[in-house]
Chain A
Amino acid sequence: NAGVTQTPKFQVLKTGQSMTLQCAQDMNHEYMSWYRQDPGMGLRLIHYSVGAGITDQGEVPNGYNVSRSTTEDFPLRLLSAAPSQTSVYFCASRSLGVRNEQFFGPGTRLTVL
Chain B
Amino acid sequence: AQTVTQSQPEMSVQEAETVTLSCTYDTSESDYYLFWYKQPPSRQMILVIRQEAYKQQNATENRFSVNFQKAAKSFSLKISDSQLGDAAMYFCAFNQFYFGTGTSLTVIP
Given contacts A42-B91, A99-B33, contact A90 B45 (CB under 8 A): yes
Q: Which residues of A contact B (CB under 8 A)?
A: 35, 40-45, 58-59, 88, 90, 92, 94, 98-99, 101-102, 104, 106-107
Instruction: Give complex CA distance A59, B2 in Å.
Output: 11
Taking a contact as CB atoms under 8 Å apart, the answer to whether B44 and A104 are in contact is: yes
Residues of B contacting A41 in the complex (Cβ-Cβ under 8 angstroms)? 101
Q: Across the interface, name the chain B residue whose C-beta is closest to A99.
A: B33
Instruction: Give complex CA distance A107, B6 in Å.
Output: 23
Taking a contact as CB atoms under 8 Å apart, the answer to whether A102 and B47 are in contact is: yes
Residues of B contacting A59 in the complex (Cβ-Cβ under 8 angstroms)? 1, 97-98
Q: Which residues of B contact A (CB under 8 A)?
A: 1, 4, 6, 9, 32-33, 43-45, 47, 50, 52, 91, 93, 95-102
29 A-B pairs with C-beta separation under 8 A: A35-B99, A40-B101, A42-B4, A42-B6, A42-B91, A42-B99, A42-B100, A42-B101, A43-B91, A43-B93, A43-B99, A45-B97, A45-B98, A59-B1, A59-B97, A59-B98, A90-B45, A98-B32, A98-B95, A98-B96, A98-B97, A99-B33, A99-B50, A101-B50, A102-B45, A102-B47, A102-B96, A104-B45, A106-B44
